[in-house]
Structure 1
Amino acid sequence: MIEKNQTGADVAGRPLPELTEENRFFWTSGADNQLRVQECQSCSALIHPPVPVCRYCRGQQMGVRDVSGYATLIGFTVNHRFGLPGMPPPYVIAQVALEDDPRVRLTTNAIECDPDSLELGMRMEVVFQQEEDVWLPLFRPTAEQGTPAPLPVDEVEPEQVWRYVRPMVSQDKFEDKVAITGVGMSQIGRRLMRPPLSLTIEACERAIADAGLTLDDIDGLSTYPGGGPTGPFGEGGMTALESALGIRPTWYNGGMETFGPGGSVIAAMLAVASGLARHVLCFRTVWEATHGEYVKQGKLSPMIGSGRTTSWQIPFGALSAAHTLAQNAQRHFHRYGTTRETLGWIALNQRANAELEPTAIYRDKMTMEDYLSARTITTPFGLYDCDVPCDAATAVIVSARDAAEDLAKPPVYVEAVGTQIIERLDWDQSTLTHEPQVLGQAAHMWSRTTLQPQDIDVAQLYDGFTFNCLSWIEALGFCGIGEAKDFLDGGKNIARDGLIPINTHGGQLSHGRTHGMGLIHEAVIQLRGEGGARQVADAKTAVASSGGLTPSGVVLLRNYA
């Protein structure tokens, strides 16, 4: 029997999956009330999402298997903030691991239950909900519940990531051939109502002046995410900037499949080290606040609405990275005893640092009570677990090392980068207890340097959410895996005078969501000693991370040759 409207909402207009020859068997399997998943006919592994090759044995004989429809609840979050047509909040987004093969996880909605009664490890069963030509597999707790099952084992356990790091191809490091010579940031604020390209040009001009260069010296451009329909996350890419300024670069780069939002900087290092360019201008622009205001005024359309989607998450209302990371945080809580207060110390640290940075968007004092009592976004995240949407552009200039010595500011040198993908890329199939695409990149970076975590003076760690920052703290070895609760307790270890000062300008949680590039900007400011009241004394080394979930990157910088 097919159940309908189990979320209790008017489902008209809910985003539905786009049916293709590759996925039709999955999205229509509920027509006869039987869940089906792709199977490798060589090794019998279940594969999801469906692909033409098995990731386990590399076999290419793929088929479809009828599965039991029973699963283990391995994550859930109650969404209070985000809504979609036909899906007004609150509703429960969940992840389940199939009993037939726990390596397969489905994003779904938990239905016919009190969210407060849900518990990790519960046994769940599929219930299909038909919408047009799609049968959505939703899950409810089974009538009989035994002892909760343990969380499934990650394909790569966090403590074992280092085993998968590839050795250096050559001892001749490209990092030794480059330096950062200029940084610039535009005006930053909420709803500036300025064209995004004007912010880009302002940041780029400031970076060029900071380096003591001219536009004619710039022979490379690098950006993220590049051109295309990026909505509030860009100005039109390299094409837009080159058309405005007429730079005529010998090398250029733009795109989302790179080393996180700051991946443009690492790509520029490679171009400079190879001799394709001498001075590459890297830039990143966001105008989320203004874009949101235009959407409210009806002048722009929202990026996600009703209709068809290729996503495996959006049909269940999981439209934000918050919905994935909230479940990773929940599992970290479950396995290691972390609490909301643990995340709160990160938010409070960033706010305390922002109080000393005049350009920060949030500068008012914040207490733990303020943090804990803020409105819920998606459990366990509240308002202050989330970064601040803003309008801003950031620019960084990467130069050849031999060209950097005589410029306006002392160069900042590159000790190492970390870029290797070790964990699965699919958000709901990847690392359970940490932000995916953090552990592997961190381990890769340490393989390219003789420096160790205790040698780092300041860390600018990606904090789109508090849990991102916690994941980087553990991944980079500032404390052990699962030890963040004790390490962060009281906030002393990450304060400006602590063991490892973190996000000294307020980070994205308080300074503003500059999407990783602002963290590189702040690392350079600290290594130059230009931080003013927030300056960390005698800072010689800095690590700056960029992204996570999507491919990410991390760079280790120093101010000495």
Structure 2
Amino acid sequence: MDRPTVRPVPQPTLASADFWAAGADGELRIARCGDCSAYTHPPPPRCRSCRSPAMSMTPVSGRAVVAGFTVNAQQWLPDLPPPYVIAIVILDEDEGVRLTTNIVNCDPGDVHVGMRVRVLFEKAGEVYLPLFEPDPGRPEPPGPVPGPPARRPVPRPMATTRKFEDAVALTGVGQSAVGRRLMVDPLSLTVDACLDAIADAGLTPDDIDGLATYPGPGPGGMSEGGVMALEEALRLRPTWVNGGPETPGQIGSITSAMLAVAAGLCRHVLCFRTVWESSHAALVRSGRWHVPDGPATGMMEWRLPFGAASAANWIACQASHYFHRYGDDRETLGWIAVNARRNAARNPEAVYREPLTMDDYIAARMISSPFGLYDCDVPVDGAVAVIVSAVETAADLPGPAVLVEAAGTQITERLSWDQDTLTHLPQSLGPSAHLWSRTSLRPGDVDVAELYDGFSFNALSWLEALGFCEFGEARSFIDEGRGIALDGRLPLNTHGGQLSAGRTHGYGFVREAMLQLRGEAGDRQVPGARVAVVTAGGGVPSGALLLRADG
């Protein structure tokens, strides 16, 4: 007997309660400004266009157009069996208002970008979930969807000619054991990486006067406990600490450390990042770790009720829109995955090193279309640590320092997975433009690129956002893997990236860039590498660093 479908329910807040209750009378309601008439979603306290407080929940037609979608094939939730379609739909009333939802009452294979749909409601507890179905009253042609970015974002001008980047150097890097289901206390992994980085810099623990991490205390598998836990373990007595998730990507914690050093708060900041997702998942499956049930809150309020439990689902919607817009296909993503595996074969630390062919990639099971198994990064246990030092101390340290040419941190889009950029990974365009505004170097000066690849489409988005090729031209730039190979025009993710080396969540890219610029990357070394670009953040918010060899 089939199990009934039981959706996770959202937790209505003081701001969102009217939205979730609206379906009781069969009408979709969206926040609308009484002054300029603009709609905004999710419901805000002020209008997104004119900042007026005159917002009220207003009935809309309930008609929309599919702007991006994914057919989810992965069992993320126990009572919501796949396959099902997750989509971003754009309301007819305002193209700037989108809902993440499900497309129902049709074959998943019939869903396409531009499909005209209409709302219907499903009651879940005390709330009404807006789902969408094909609109028989509005047949083809397809409805309009937003076009590609008119131009790259124009960042704010530099606030001062004095660059904080010039005041710092990356003097040490360390890594713990990295692997699948290590079943090791995550704090011990952190300590191993941190002591390794301190020794690599030629320092002692007593020299460390700052600590920075991402995300601080976090949900299961994503943190060892943050600054408080590490300080208890090592007793470093820092003069400055920082930890939190709201930074320019995971490496935003490194950028924060640079700012602290440049401001004179400290001279040697120990930055660290630890994950133990693989062991955590095993503990949950065995029943040794209990994950509490409860309504969906925060950003998941708008996603989990529709089965959009993973970033794989959210980013897949952007990938489908990119394919619709630029006429590309999965093979372009496949070459990113195949290239990562080729590089990982040269990296003795990589989790997966066995050969991967395009045939293997295409034949792999689907996770959330267009993403198959090899489009998704590998959850692991491991820690990486980086030392940020005052640049004037570098000459007295035994190892080669890596200098910071520029940091890209500016936000130019809505910090949302569905309300702004659809053609690329959200929040990749702004940091990329900001990065180049802080340096005279250009994309052609970069010798190696370590670009966040939580999913293959992330790396594609960063390639285009950073200007290594124009929007929609990644296919020709990648050139069936030749353009991004170790001996190609832009060696990409030389250690295997997160797709094959393991998901060390941003910090692993900084480590690999440092090894490349120091000439210490072994069999995967790019000859003469002098400039490297690093990005982190598989969505919002994100950031970028441009690093260069000393001397």
Task: Quickly name the TM-score band, shorter chain normalised.
Answer: over 0.9
- The one-letter code sitting in structure 1 at the alignment partner of 2:535 is S
User: Counterparts in 2 of 1:237-316, with a 5 A limit?
Assistant: 237-302=226-291, 305-310=293-298, 311-316=301-306
Aligned residue for 2:223, secondary structure, equals: coil
Farther-moved stretch of structure 1 (511-520 vs 14-23): 14-23
Post-superposition offset of 1:18: 1.0
1:462-514 CA-to-partner distances (Å, cap 9, x unmatched) read 00000000000001111111101111131111111111101110000000000
Aligned match for 1:168, one of 136, 158, 166: 158
Post-superposition offset of 1:100: 1.1
Does the aligned pair in 1 maintain the 2:179–2:351 contact within 8 Å? yes
Farther-moved stretch of structure 1 (383-392 vs 126-135): 126-135
- The one-letter code sitting in structure 1 at the alignment partner of 2:149 is P
Residues 1:420 and 2:410 aligned together: yes
- How far apart are the structure 1 equivalents of 2:8 and 2:243? 29
Does the aligned pair in 1 maintain the 2:296–2:304 contact within 8 Å? no
- How far apart are the structure 1 equivalents of 2:267 and 2:469? 38
Q: Which residue of 2 aligns with 1:148?
A: 142
Aligned residue for 1:398, secondary structure, equals: strand
1:130-186 CA-to-partner distances (Å, cap 9, x unmatched) read 112111110000114120023124xxx5352333x1000111101000000000000
- The one-letter code sitting in structure 1 at the alignment partner of 2:248 is F
Post-superposition offset of 1:120: 1.1
- The one-letter code sitting in structure 1 at the alignment partner of 2:76 is G
Q: Which residue of 2 aligns with 1:5?
A: none
Does the aligned pair in 1 maintain the 2:453–2:538 contact within 8 Å? no
Does the aligned pair in 2 maintain the 1:418–1:553 contact within 8 Å? yes
Q: Which residue of 1 aligns with 2:55?
A: 62
Aligned match for 2:455, one of 461, 465, 471: 465
Tell me: CA distance 1:263–1:372, structure 2 relative to 1, closer, same or farther (3 Å).
Answer: same
- How far apart are the structure 1 equivalents of 2:506 and 2:403? 19
Aligned residue for 1:471, secondary structure, equals: helix
- The one-letter code sitting in structure 1 at the alignment partner of 2:153 is W
1:343-384 CA-to-partner distances (Å, cap 9, x unmatched) read 001001110000000010000001000001000000110000
Post-superposition offset of 1:301: 2.4
- The one-letter code sitting in structure 2 at the alignment partner of 1:409 is G
Does the aligned pair in 2 maintain the 1:541–1:558 contact within 8 Å? yes
User: Counterparts in 2 of 1:70-149, with a 5 A limit?
Assistant: 70-144=63-137, 145-149=139-143
Tell me: CA distance 1:430–1:288, structure 2 relative to 1, closer, same or farther (3 Å).
Answer: same
Aligned match for 1:184, one of 151, 156, 174: 174
Tell me: CA distance 1:43–1:118, structure 2 relative to 1, closer, same or farther (3 Å).
Answer: same
Aligned residue for 1:42, secondary structure, equals: coil
- How far apart are the structure 2 equivalents of 1:66 and 1:142? 18
- The one-letter code sitting in structure 2 at the alignment partner of 1:160 is R
State the aligned residue count. 547
1:93-134 CA-to-partner distances (Å, cap 9, x unmatched) read 111100011210001111000011112111101011111211
Post-superposition offset of 1:306: 5.0
- How far apart are the structure 1 equivalents of 2:230 and 2:294? 33
- How far apart are the structure 1 equivalents of 2:502 and 2:419? 30
- The one-letter code sitting in structure 1 at the alignment partner of 2:44 is V
- The one-letter code sitting in structure 2 at the alignment partner of 1:380 is P
Post-superposition offset of 1:206: 0.4
Q: Which residue of 2 aligns with 1:4?
A: none
Q: Which residue of 1 aligns with 2:371?
A: 381
- How far apart are the structure 2 equivalents of 1:20 and 1:546? 31
Farther-moved stretch of structure 1 (498-507 vs 85-94): 85-94
- How far apart are the structure 1 equivalents of 2:56 and 2:507? 44
- How far apart are the structure 1 equivalents of 2:106 and 2:49? 36
- How far apart are the structure 2 equivalents of 1:152 and 1:336? 13
- The one-letter code sitting in structure 1 at the alignment partner of 2:412 is I
Does the aligned pair in 1 maintain the 2:172–2:197 contact within 8 Å? yes
- The one-letter code sitting in structure 1 at the alignment partner of 2:490 is I
Aligned residue for 2:325, secondary structure, equals: helix
Post-superposition offset of 1:9: 6.8
Post-superposition offset of 1:326: 0.5
Does the aligned pair in 2 maintain the 1:161–1:422 contact within 8 Å? no
- How far apart are the structure 2 equivalents of 1:347 and 1:33? 45
- The one-letter code sitting in structure 2 at the alignment partner of 1:169 is A
- How far apart are the structure 2 equivalents of 1:361 and 1:553? 26
- How far apart are the structure 1 equivalents of 2:348 and 2:226? 29
Aligned residue for 2:475, secondary structure, equals: helix
Q: Which residue of 2 aligns with 1:489?
A: 479
1:172-215 CA-to-partner distances (Å, cap 9, x unmatched) read 10100000000000000000000000000000010000001000
TM-score (norm 2): 0.98
Aligned match for 1:436, one of 426, 434, 459: 426
User: Counterparts in 2 of 1:34-49, with a 5 A limit?
Assistant: 34-49=27-42
Aligned residue for 2:480, secondary structure, equals: coil
Unaligned segments of structure 2, at least 5 residues: none
Aligned residue for 1:269, secondary structure, equals: helix
Farther-moved stretch of structure 1 (404-413 vs 503-512): 404-413
Post-superposition offset of 1:385: 0.0
- The one-letter code sitting in structure 1 at the alignment partner of 2:129 is L
Q: Which residue of 2 aligns with 1:360?
A: 350
Q: Which residue of 2 aligns with 1:3?
A: none
- How far apart are the structure 1 equivalents of 2:197 and 2:486? 26
TM-score (norm 1): 0.96
Aligned residue for 1:206, secondary structure, equals: helix
Post-superposition offset of 1:324: 1.1
Does the aligned pair in 2 maintain the 1:322–1:465 contact within 8 Å? yes
Does the aligned pair in 1 maintain the 2:407–2:543 contact within 8 Å? yes
Tell me: CA distance 1:277–1:159, structure 2 relative to 1, closer, same or farther (3 Å).
Answer: farther
- The one-letter code sitting in structure 2 at the alignment partner of 1:150 is P
Aligned match for 2:200, one of 210, 213, 235: 210
Farther-moved stretch of structure 1 (376-385 vs 73-82): 73-82
- How far apart are the structure 1 equivalents of 2:296 and 2:362? 37
Residues 1:325 and 2:315 aligned together: yes
Aligned residue for 1:158, secondary structure, equals: coil
- How far apart are the structure 2 equivalents of 1:120 and 1:357? 40
Aligned match for 1:390, one of 380, 388, 409: 380
Aligned residue for 2:418, secondary structure, equals: helix
User: Counterparts in 2 of 1:490-509, with a 5 A limit?
Assistant: 490-509=480-499
Percent identical pairs in the alignment equals 57
Does the aligned pair in 2 maintain the 1:36–1:67 contact within 8 Å? yes
- The one-letter code sitting in structure 1 at the alignment partner of 2:297 is T
Does the aligned pair in 2 maintain the 1:15–1:85 contact within 8 Å? no
Farther-moved stretch of structure 1 (419-428 vs 216-225): 419-428
